[in-house]
Chains A and B, each alone.
Chain A
């Protein structure tokens, strides 16, 4: 039946041909009238460029240290002494300007400003302000570019996180790592090109879901591979007892024969993906143990990352693993550290969260640097939005909370192609609105793609009748942060 239908479609007579031809020519003519550039030669043939950067990249790999839950910029890197001076006073309406609040504080009748409970000091040649919660990051500020004017469109965790990771709030679009894997291919064929490592702190947490590292409509080889937080980073990699390498090989060969038969029958590209994944898993059997073996690491590495780096599933262990994965050519290593959502008890929870990540984040930068890898690796540290300059809930001398603030927040980047030791962008003294050089999430994505040698407006995939991009229809490259 299906065949007959196909054949019927192939039957075309002169009348059909001429009819379709005139319709076709007509629409071509109309199209060229409506879109003048329609038939000009396009500068870049997207498809043939896959697997190689469009131009020589500044960074070859990315490690994204995602601080999930939105760490307060006001207790970390954005020093606002005015908030301490005006502690307890109401947020002026001229600053708030009636902008959107979350449902958690929109019915508060007062918005008392609250200054940082933690002390700030300037560090390094660049004189960057860092709070006392991050004593180790304060040592690497001269390698780092702080962006103080990130802003996003979403005001709640899940859409904001999804936006930050996929360029769209609704989910099911490919994530940043998937786009890079699609655009650049994998450097090391023995490992996934995109790895995901999770950890959680003791602070109030927000969930992360696999939609954040999805391949969306791209081929599923580009999906992020989540590593386990247990002793075995990749589960079921060992051959079961009693089976050896040769029999595993034989099994895979036979399996791929069966899969190929199926492929010839149905032509589903996902079957090819599956065959490739089996082959990669086979190679991972040698590549991964080499990676996760910490016995070859020198002693001072443990001191550098802190002893927690030996405890699987901690942020420190993930940072160390991220360095090893990146060193082994993994394009995109995505970390998530949960627990940064301090709506209340901020002074109680934030020191613990900061302690979880401070030493290892700084160690990762230093470790890449001492191996000569920082020049070619882009490291990003930050959350999905910022936190309000006013207090959510009860304000006491010792404790307070902060609500979500999407209008300006701070992230930092270091390494490949980033101008080190600078602060980009300016927000007002209240830390509420951006004054100069805003960086939208789309701009951030455009910049990251640019650093990796990709034109964000040319890395496209046609799906459901239109071409999609990570930056969709927006995105400006932020030249100011690039070396």
Chain B
């Protein structure tokens, strides 16, 4: 062991001598390359003295837990090893420092502290253990070790290596508009997202800082970033274009790369002279640089929300809560905005004090809507102190000139709505002095378009909105009369009531299935009576208007309801309705809503229904079958209908056979009836056979397999 220790002491001595020699002649030193390799072992070896010294320190502090004989020799051995590794590390460090490329200040300190440490460690070998001097020396050594180690770490990893991840680089707040430069709008955002992390004030790899334009222009240790106008010679572009696997390619392989358009943005920008101060407006819209910049701005800059516009204090939530009621809503423009919007609702509920109470938040009210409220001129007095009002809506209020005069102090007013008031053109002079007024809405007042001409020339900054002025030459068509009755099945003595909505309109109608004429058609002056199946065609007429289109209403008379009915052949399974009940339930189907069980359909089988009346069958004059006529949906009138009558279903005679007209064009979809008049009869049993049309008419182009539907909703016995 002693031999070993002696050997170490000798080596340490030799190394120390060499160190002193090298330090003296440092400037003349010319390193052979093999020594350079030796020097580069410094970052590896330095971990040994750190470990050994700290271990020694710990052992000394915890000495009492160990047996003392072997302990002292262990410490001695550790101290020898520390001295050896520290000296070698210092020597290597000295070699390494000759390579250059390190920040001067830190390097000098690191070098001298390292050398000092190696001397201290060598000194420690010779001091007696358990003496105060020894304890002090080892404490100093560890302190020096920590400082030197920290400086060394800064040299290799950068200053904020350890704490860096905890410190966030605040994202820049950018407001990009036309007066921004291409650099601000596009180049800098790309740098921020892809380069800042390694090239900033705290960590400047390759000596390059990209966070400010001044630093960018300085360049890094390899020189300036670009040569204006020559992208291909520029260091920045060269580095960006190197193969990704290349050591000098930027951004490094494992980092997010620049996209194609970002690369071309940098190239085009440098080629066009890298003009840092040139604004977007100074480029033409066709300029490819401007287009590229726009794409990239979109990518990185979130749409900027205007930050708070109003600088007065917030009204307290309690105050807002207190002022809010169902007829007066008060709320902030936004969470971050102190400005208040106040609306009044429900004219009947308006109270004057509702307006006066708002004085509590007079500073914050920016938007006030009093439209349709019974506001009188004097009510506006309270508004005089509402200095921040920008939008005021007084539509359909009772204000006049004196009311407008009261608004003179509202110097922030931008938009004033006084449509539907009794304001006349002369009163408008009361508001033209408002400095910020931009829009005035005066529709539906006595003010005419001609009145505004002078105002428009005199106050061009104000937009005077007159609104809709009817074109006197334009003649409009009236809307057709509407039916007031809710049901198309009329009860006995129920009248047909028609209505035209526009006041002053008259209704002309027919009941004979002809088109009504606006002069000769029957004049509708009172509700109509109907006796049986009725088609009313009506139109609305009024002077100065084009007569309406004809509206058609079809009515069925509620009849006798059979006590029982049955279908001899089943209905189509797709539209089964509620079986035969559908035919006699007095429920009309909704037009074209065939899935509803008020409809029952036949396509292959004819409809063959038998109806029974119990004792004392009523006198029947006619049967009416009601069906859908919608050529598009292929629901057609039946081909023919037969009515049979008799004492029971086995003893029936044919009473009547009717063949209805078939449509010859598409026409409007409707539910119509076919009336089959029979000699008045009192049979207890009737049979109705209605045969579906089968083949569709030629004008209704359809595939061969498509057949006509017979879609029935009701049968009436009258």
Residue of B whose beta carbon sits closest to that of A289: B348
Give the shortest distance, in Å, between B175 (CB) and chain A (any CB). 14
Q: Which of A185-237 contact B (CB under 8 A)?
A: 185, 187-191, 202, 204
User: Which residue of A286, A287, A311, A372 has the most chain B CB atoms within 10 A of its CB atom?
Assistant: A372
**In the complex where A298-B420, A308-B479, A370-B441 touch, is A477 in contact with B415 (Cβ < 8 A)?**
no
Question: Which residue of chain B lies nearest to A280 when distances are taken between CB atoms in the complex?
Answer: B326
Q: Is the CB of A286 within 8 A of B349?
A: yes
Q: Bound complex: CA of A350 vs CA of B468, how far in Å?
A: 27
Asked whether A52 and B331 contact (CB < 8 A) given A290-B346, A304-B470, the answer is: yes
Distance A300 CA – B479 CA, assembled complex (angstroms): 16
Contacts of B545 in A (CB 8 A): 307
Across the interface, A372 reaches (CB within 8 A) one of B305, B346, B441, B478, namely B441
Q: What CA separation (Å) do A477 and B666 show in the bound complex?
A: 47
Residue A479 at the B interface, CB < 8 A? yes
A369: chain B residues at CB < 8 Å are 465, 467
With CB as the reference atom, state the residue of chain B lying closest to A372.
B417
Partner among A52, A60, A187, A479 whose Cβ is within 8 Å of the Cβ of B332: A52
Q: Which of A327, A348, A371 has the most CB of B within 10 A?
A: A371
| Closest B residue by C-beta to A324 | B372
Chain B residues bordering chain A, tally (CB within 8 A): 57
Q: Is the interface of B mostly helix, strand, loop or mixed?
A: loop
User: Complex Cα distance A217/B444, Å?
Assistant: 44
Please report B residues at the A interface, Cβ cutoff 8 Å. 298, 303, 305-306, 309, 325-327, 329, 331-337, 339, 341, 343, 345-349, 371-372, 391, 393, 395-396, 415-417, 419-420, 439, 441, 443-444, 465-470, 476-479, 482, 501-502, 545, 632, 666, 668, 701
List 7 A-B pairs, minimum CB-CB distance, nearest first.
A370-B467, A310-B501, A372-B417, A370-B443, A372-B441, A189-B326, A53-B334
Whether A372 touches B347, Cβ cut-off 8 Å, given contacts A53-B335, A55-B334, is: no
A132 at the interface (CB under 8 A from B): no
State which size class the interface on A falls in. Answer: 35 or more
Query: Which A residues are CB-close (under 8 A) to B343?
Result: 187-188, 329
Contacts of B466 in A (CB 8 A): 370
Interface residues of A, Cβ cutoff 8 Å to B: 49, 51-57, 60, 185, 187-191, 202, 204, 283, 286-287, 290, 296, 298, 300, 302-304, 306-308, 310-311, 314, 327-329, 345, 348, 363, 366-367, 369-373, 375, 394, 450, 453, 477, 479
Known: A56-B309, A369-B465, A370-B466. A187 touches B336 (CB 8 A): no
Of A308, A394, A479, which is in contact with the most chain B CB atoms at under 10 Å from its CB? A308
- Asked whether B415 lies within 8 Å of A375 as measured between CB atoms, the reply is yes
- Is the beta-carbon distance between A49 and B333 smaller than 8 angstroms? no
Q: A303-B470, A367-B468 given as contacts; is B346 within 8 A of A286 (CB)?
A: yes
Report the Cα distance A394→B701, complex, angstroms.
Answer: 10
16 extra interface residue pairs, beta carbon distance < 8 Å, beyond A52-B334, A371-B419, A372-B415: A54-B336, A55-B335, A55-B337, A56-B306, A188-B326, A190-B326, A286-B346, A306-B476, A307-B479, A311-B479, A329-B345, A366-B467, A366-B468, A372-B393, A372-B441, A375-B415
Q: Contact: B335 with A372, CB < 8 Å?
A: no
Task: Given the known inter-chain contacts A55-B306, A190-B327, A329-B329, please indicate yes or no for A372 contacting B348, CB distance below 8 A.
Answer: no
B345 and A52 contact, CB distance less than 8 A: no
Contact A287 B345 (CB under 8 A): yes
Of the candidates B339, B345, B476, the one having the most CB atoms from chain A within 10 angstroms of its own CB is B345
Least CB distance, B306 to chain A, in whole angstroms: 7
With a CB–CB cut-off of 8 A, which chain B residues contact A394?
Answer: 701
B468–A371 touching, CB < 8 Å:
no
- Give the residue of A57, A185, A371, A479 whose beta carbon is less than 8 angstroms from that of B417: A371
Q: How far is the CB of A275 from chain B (nearest CB, A)?
A: 15
On whether the beta carbons of A307 and B345 are closer than 8 Å, the reply is no
Q: Note all chain B residues with C-beta closer than 8 A to A283.
A: 326, 346
B333 touches A56 (CB 8 A): yes
CA A329 to CA B324, docked complex, whole Å = 14
| Complex Cα–Cα for A287 and B545 (A) | 34
Contacting residue for B443 out of A187, A306, A371, CB 8 A: A371
Between A and B, 12 residue pairs with Cβ closer than 8 Å are A55-B334, A56-B305, A57-B333, A185-B331, A286-B346, A286-B348, A307-B477, A308-B479, A369-B467, A370-B443, A370-B444, A371-B443
B465, A372: Cβ atoms under 8 Å?
A: yes
- Is the CB–CB distance between A311 and B476 below 8 Å? no
